[in-house]
Amino acid sequence: MSEQTTQSQRKVVVAGAGMAGVQTAVALREQGFTGTVTLIGAEPHQPYDRPPLSKAVLLGKAEGSAFDVDFEALGIELQLGREVLGVRPADHELDTEAGPVPYDVLVLATGAEPIRLPGVEGVPGVHLLRTLDDAERLRPVLARQHDIVVVGAGWIGAEFATAAREAGCAVTVVEAADRPLAGALPAEVAAPMTAWYQDSGAVLRTHARVERVEPGAVLLDDGSRLPAGAVVVGIGARPATAWLAGSGIELGAHGEVVADDGLRTSVPDVYAVGDCASFPSGRYGERLLVHHWDNALQGPRTVAANILGEATGETSAVYDPVPYFWSEQFGRFVQYAGHHAAADTTLWRGDPSGPAWTVCWLKDDRLVALLAVGRPRDLAQGRRLIEAGTPMDAALLGDPARPMKAATA
């Protein structure tokens, strides 16, 4: 049997119709896969992009954010409004609420789900912001200019607070840690961001834990009572993998699918990509779990290459990106590239009290990560320097007037 005939008879099923799932299906076609591609999504909506939900869609500036993909022209079968329930690798079948779906190759792309605040299930006026339906429910809340309490001063909390202030709402953000972005950035880097809340007219309450939520109010553990026409919870996300229990697919400490450097799982013919999967980084010497849009965009190309490569015997593609994400908050464009956990030097470019500055992290005189606020050129040049592993001159790098690419050793 010829290679082309074999490939044309193979059936790839992608579980999850977000960015990672859609891009996997598209990449398969772009790279020449001629077999069957089926994309299964739990939501009934046409597959859509998530970043606009906390911005244009939320503020009523856009009705939706559907991907500009002609699935029919690409020969990609969509099965929407169909929740996945489990997988039986021995039978090569994916279980869904509409019945089993056979596969030759399965790609897990179910993303992440928001962590819920304990004790608020069923309380009126408590919202999450993860899906298109969530954004649609919150749009009229902003339009009525309610007093809003945001629980969590992470990326999503800051972005929602920004949109709510733009809509004219009174906003209080409560954060259990001592600073915003406590789980993402060191204290000295996050500290300047505290002022952004006040500058925008939002109130930031740190060291503040929610005791309970009742209709119209949030009660904190220090006895404070905050008026709340609506409460938005943004306290993080976890991989959406509970449905894989009993499948034999290895999960990691955070519930994520443990993938190898080619994004294969522990089970043959099953891959995992995007927010639901971790992968070993040769660049950083540790396993990374990246919950950001760019990871869901880049990983599918590796998955598609390896699915095709398995049929043709080609060399395996390795996934080892420089992680990247961005956030628009309080009138600032914030970008991050790399992974700073093992850095031995932190270096500032510019005044953090000003509108534009960058923090660089180095290890052994090589740039491993940077955070750029209002300095997109720093980000673009720095990302390339990280990828290349170029030795840097710290004295030159600390000069914000000097291009980063001109600060090499």
Distance of CA 216 to the CA centre of its chain: 31
Residue 219, domain CATH: 3.50.50.60
**What is the mean pLDDT of the segment spanning 5-10?**
69
How deeply is 185 buried, as exposed, middle or buried, from its count of CB atoms within 10 A (0-12, 13-18, 19+)? middle
- The mean per-residue pLDDT over the stretch 4-20 comes to 84
How far apart CA 273 and CA 261 sit, in angstroms, is 11
Helix runs in 31-150, H state only: 71-74, 132-143
Per-residue tokens: 233? 């919870």
Do both 9 and 27 map to the same domain? Answer: yes
Examine the domain organization and report whether 133 and 221 are in the same domain.
yes
Higher pLDDT, 262 or 183: 262
Segment 287-336, tens digit of pLDDT: 999 999 999 999 999 999 999 998 777 878 999 999 999 999 999 999 99
Give dist(CA 222, CA 321) in Å, integer. Answer: 44
Residue 322 lies in a domain: no
Q: Domain tally for the chain?
A: 3
Q: Is the pLDDT of residue 2 over 50?
A: no
With cut-offs at 50, 70 and 90, classify the pLDDT of residue 6: low
CA atoms within 13 A on the CB side of 128: 16
Specify the pLDDT at position 257: 98
Distance, in Å, from the CA atom of 159 to the CA atom of 359, rounded to the nearest integer, reads 21
How large is the average pLDDT for residues 107-114?
A: 97
Q: What is the pLDDT of residues 83-109, one digit of tens each?
A: 999 999 999 999 999 999 999 999 999
- Percent of the chain topping pLDDT 90: 89
Three-state DSSP class for residue 274? helix
Instruction: Give the per-residue pLDDT at 114.
Output: 94
Residue 295 belongs to some domain of the structure: yes
The last residue of one of the domains, among 233, 256, 290, is: 233
pLDDT of residue 7: 67
Over the range 17-43, which residues count as b (16 or more CB within 10 Å of their CB) and which as e?
A: bbbbbbbbbbbbbeeebbbbbbbbbbb
Q: How many residues does the chain have?
A: 409
Dihedral angle of Cα 249, 250, 256, 259, to the nearest 10 degrees: -90
Residue 141 lies in a domain: yes
Give, in order, the Cα–Cα distances in Å from 344 to each of 83, 280, 341, 408. Answer: 45, 21, 9, 18
- pLDDT attached to residue 5: 43
Q: Are residues 108 and 21 in the same domain?
A: yes
Are 223 and 256 contained in the same domain? no
**Shared-domain flag, residues 7 and 102:** yes
- Same domain for 197 and 140, yes or no, is yes
Chain centre distance of CA 316: 26
Token digits of residue 383: 């990302």
Distance CA 126, CA 149 (A): 10
Is the same domain home to 109 and 250? Answer: yes
Last residue of a domain, one of 233, 263, 294: 233
Mean pLDDT, rounded, of the chain = 94
325 near 293, Cβ under 8 Å?
yes
* Percentage of the residues of the chain whose pLDDT score is greater than 70: 98
pLDDT value at 3 more than 60 = no
CA 2 to chain centre: 40
Inside any domain, residue 166: yes
Residues 223 and 269 in one domain: no
Helix axis angle, 19-30 to 293-312, nearest 10°: 40
C-alpha to C-alpha distances, 270 to 285, 331, 351, nearest whole angstrom:
24, 42, 48
Can you tell me the distance from the alpha carbon of 137 to that of 125, in angstroms, rounded to the nearest whole number?
A: 10
Among 233, 253, 274, identify where a domain stops: 233
Q: Which residues pair with 347 in a beta bridge?
A: 360
Looking at the structure, tell me whether residues 243 and 380 fall in a common domain: no
What pLDDT band is residue 59 in, cutting at 50, 70 and 90? confident
Same domain? 304 vs 338: no
The residue type of 161 is A
Residue 326 lies in a domain: no
Mean pLDDT of 12-25: 98
The answer to whether 336 and 35 are in contact (CB under 8 A) is no
DSSP 8-class letter at 188: H
Residue 101 pLDDT: 98
Question: Measured between alpha carbons, how far is 308 from 317 in angstroms, rounded to an integer?
Answer: 10
pLDDT, tens digit (0-9, with 9 covering 90-100), for 338-385: 999 999 999 999 999 999 999 999 999 999 999 999 999 999 999 999
Residues 216 and 274 grouped into a single domain: no
pLDDT at residue 61 in the model: 83
Edge-to-edge strand list for the sheet holding 105-108: 76-79, 36-40, 11-15, 105-108, 270-272
Whether residue 317 is contained in a domain is answered as no
Look at residue 137 in the predicted model and tell me its pLDDT.
Answer: 92
Residue 321 belongs to some domain of the structure: no
Residue 179 domain flag? yes
- Whether residue 298 is found in the same domain as residue 155: no
Q: Answer left, alpha or beta for residue 309, where phi above 0 means left and psi between -120 and 50 means alpha.
A: alpha
Position 57 scores a pLDDT of: 84
Q: What is the CATH number of the domain that holds 390?
A: 3.30.390.30
> What is the extent of the structural domain holding 158?
116-233
